[in-house]
Structure 1
Amino acid sequence: MARRRRMFSKRREGFLGSLLRQLAGLLVIALAIGYALAYTPSIPRRALERLYGTPPSQFLQLPSGSRIHYRDEGPRDAPFTVLLLHGTASSLHTWEGVVARLKDRWRIVTMDLPGHGLTGATAEGRYDRAGMVAAIARLVDHLGLARFVIGGNSMGGEMAMAYALRYPDRVAALVLIDSAGLALDLSDRHVPIGFRLAAIPLLRPLIARITPRSLVERSVRAVYADPARVTPALVDRYWRLMRMEGSRRALMKRFAALADEPPLAVERLSVPALVIWGREDHLIPLAIGEELSRRLPHSRLVVFDDAGHVPQEERPSETARAISGFLETLAPPARPGGDRKDTGPTDAGADRSRGDKRP
């Protein structure tokens, strides 16, 4: 009797083991099928350059083999040259509406930072703050800019301030639009889903391979005050450029670098600064913009009621008008085009007003 029980027990264990192995096999197959269906392929660089790298786009070839995508528009004899930098997962195209309104009067340079846009992944592989500043410095030297205005949106504002701290003699003024650079909590529920996921280290390898258009669309809509302004073409551009070969891995390295980067010592920035903020920005709230403006020695804060995290896309006319008005308050450089040091800001350029300006 005991022998029969042992035989039955062994058969049952064998059956259960076989069943578990079959279920595990089915699970692996299901996961493989799910991965295959969800996998988002990369797009060749050349294909994206044909779509988004047409004139006035230019490329600076680096000794490493990497290239920096940039645009240089407006008169070379303009009173000032302005270099504008985009935010995380964005590209220089974010400035097109603003550039169109400024380039008749000012020389405007825009660039794709490493790991972004048509610059994409670089041979240097440096996507931390120091790597970004080094790329900016290369372009600035290539263009021969000795003193100019630098600005940016979100991460671009952070890199503009980081550049100004590293090269204070080169910067005449700052334009900071919903800028990063102070402490930021990416786990907040108001932060776009794509950013929250990328902030989780275990998910980064997955995001580098699976990036559905719906995820990008949700993230873009989340940074607009009015999601109805987000067009299919806009989402497609963000989605496609993010999928350039190597760019998603580079972007995940950028998110990894955030943990090791302390807030910037913005109090050391003595040049005039225009701080623009969208009142409906839930990624970097207005309270941070107000703190940034308080801590900058010579700043003016302008708030747009009907704008989120990217006023340059949602409110290009008002953004361009604010920038142009700010530039008019600055003393002109010694020579046109920003290719020599200027004589410093006028008193108006050093306005320390904290009042909101509503368009």
Structure 2
Amino acid sequence: MASRKSQSLLLLLGKRLLQLVLGLVILAVTVGYVWLYTPSIPRAALERMYANAESQFLDLPGGTRIHYRDEGPRDAPLTLLLLHGTASSLHTWEGWVAGLKDRYRVVTMDLPGHGLTGRTAEDRYDRAGMVAAIVAVVDHLGLDRFVIGGNSMGGEMAMAYTLAHPDKVEALILVDSAGLRLDLTNRSVPIGFRLAAISWLRPLIVRITPRSLVARSVAAVYADPARVTPELVDRYWRLLRMEGSREALMKRFAALEREPPLPVERIDKPALVLWGREDHLIPLAVGRELARRLPRAELVVLDGLGHVPQEEDAARSLEPVKAFLAHLEEERMHSDNRQQEAAG
């Protein structure tokens, strides 16, 4: 009888202990969630912070609002349209725009789910959705033929747009471009990207996105993390937290799982393939493959720069771009002369 009572007492104590442990775990998780929870920021507040005098907004009939900037002379010899990468914004091109807009017309835009465009009414962040947004801006501005460029995801969308609208594109500038293969499980990939690639973590990421995670991810795409300023991290972190943008970004990562490599061999346009030698997100080997498979590509490797050379060192990364554009101008002039001679 005493033995049965002892066993019952032990079972009761074990049950109470288990309940206590579970309660402590629930409390710890609740406190941790409340402590780490990262609230969204209203669109209007971010527009006040990160729109400038050059910022314009294209309001589409369905309710989508696309942020873009159109700078430089309208009668420029060449027009450029530049597209940013994943979790970035048109701000990444500000250094290049400053160095190009005296001679060229330069259009930059925030792609769906990013920057001050944010979540769209269509809620599509695959290639088709991105290309549709590019088409909307191109048509709105009445762009005829132009040079399209992009970094990372932006390079992928530049190539996707070219495949869909080849008559619009004069040439491409592809900076550490996606579009072939991308291994997000590699430990050299920024931690934020690796986490977003895990589908079951995505609902958590839309609510918990600490600044430290963004800071580590931005530093990982620079060859020299010392170049990453607190203001730069703040901009990435705040724009990521626009209401709806984190949900949109998770849908972009989901789309990555379904999209095959682009048939880049079909892009018969002059292309400058620009690559940071220290790119650990999309290694130089991918850049060499891209340049080999594009029919008319020139590869330029930038020593000492990482995945976002246009942002890490705008002046140095812009040097081969200016040479490429000058060559395009010269080719166009020769072509115009030949046409005039043939007509005369």
**2:285 is the alignment partner of 1:287:** yes
**2:142 is the alignment partner of 1:140:** no
Identical amino acids, percent of aligned pairs: 69
TM normalised by structure 2 equals 0.95
Counterpart among 36, 43, 49 of residue 45 in structure 1: 43
Give the residue type in structure 1 aligned to 2:213.
Answer: L
Specify the alignment match of 1:79 in structure 2: 77
Instruction: Give runs of ≥4 in structure 1 deviating > 6 Å.
Output: 332-335
SS in 1 for 2:144: coil
Specify the alignment match of 2:149 in structure 1: 151
Q: Is the 8 A contact 1:175 1:273 kept in 2?
A: yes
Structure number with the higher helix fraction is 2
Q: Is the 8 A contact 2:78 2:329 kept in 1?
A: no
Deviation at 1:248, TM superposition (A): 0.7
Specify the alignment match of 1:328 in structure 2: 326
SS in 2 for 1:280: coil
- Structure 2 vs 1, CA of residues 332 and 145 (structure 1 numbering), >3 Å: closer, same or farther? farther
Counterpart among 81, 92, 114 of residue 94 in structure 1: 92
Q: Is the 8 A contact 1:307 1:314 kept in 2?
A: yes
Give the residue type in structure 1 aligned to 2:103.
Answer: R
Deviation at 1:15, TM superposition (A): 2.3
- Structure 2 vs 1, CA of residues 122 and 332 (structure 1 numbering), >3 Å: closer, same or farther? farther
Aligned length: 337
Specify the alignment match of 1:356 in structure 2: none
* Rounded Cα–Cα distance in structure 2 between residues aligned with 1:331 and 1:271: 15
CA deviations on 1:158-178 (whole Å, 9 max, x unpaired) are 000000001111111100000
Counting only pairs closer than 5 Å after superposition, residues 187-202 of structure 1 correspond to structure 2 as 187-202=185-200
Give the residue type in structure 2 aligned to 1:152.
Answer: G
Give the residue type in structure 2 aligned to 1:232.
Answer: P
Counting only pairs closer than 5 Å after superposition, residues 223-234 of structure 1 correspond to structure 2 as 223-234=221-232
Q: Is the 8 A contact 1:153 1:178 kept in 2?
A: yes
* Rounded Cα–Cα distance in structure 1 between residues aligned with 2:213 and 2:131: 29
Deviation at 1:5, TM superposition (A): 3.0
Q: CA RMSD in A?
A: 1.8
Q: Is the 8 A contact 1:97 1:316 kept in 2?
A: yes
Specify the alignment match of 1:249 in structure 2: 247
Deviation at 1:189, TM superposition (A): 1.1
Unaligned 5+ segments in structure 1 are 336-341, 347-359
Counting only pairs closer than 5 Å after superposition, residues 3-14 of structure 1 correspond to structure 2 as 4-14=2-12
Counting only pairs closer than 5 Å after superposition, residues 1-359 of structure 1 correspond to structure 2 as 1=1, 4-331=2-329
Deviation at 1:8, TM superposition (A): 3.1
CA deviations on 1:7-27 (whole Å, 9 max, x unpaired) are 332332222212211221121
Give the residue type in structure 2 aligned to 1:115.
Answer: G
SS in 2 for 1:46: helix
* Rounded Cα–Cα distance in structure 1 between residues aligned with 2:135 and 2:182: 26
- Structure 2 vs 1, CA of residues 294 and 334 (structure 1 numbering), >3 Å: closer, same or farther? closer
Q: Is the 8 A contact 2:82 2:148 kept in 1?
A: yes
- Structure 2 vs 1, CA of residues 334 and 222 (structure 1 numbering), >3 Å: closer, same or farther? closer
Larger displacement relative to structure 2 (262-271 or 317-326): 317-326
Specify the alignment match of 2:341 in structure 1: none
CA deviations on 1:274-330 (whole Å, 9 max, x unpaired) are 110101111111111111001100011111102100110112112222222211212
* Rounded Cα–Cα distance in structure 1 between residues aligned with 2:335 and 2:194: 44
Deviation at 1:146, TM superposition (A): 1.9
Unaligned 5+ segments in structure 2 are 339-344
* Rounded Cα–Cα distance in structure 2 between residues aligned with 1:180 and 1:243: 24
Q: Is the 8 A contact 1:79 1:333 kept in 2?
A: no
* Rounded Cα–Cα distance in structure 1 between residues aligned with 2:332 and 2:154: 27
TM normalised by structure 1 equals 0.91
Deviation at 1:333, TM superposition (A): 10
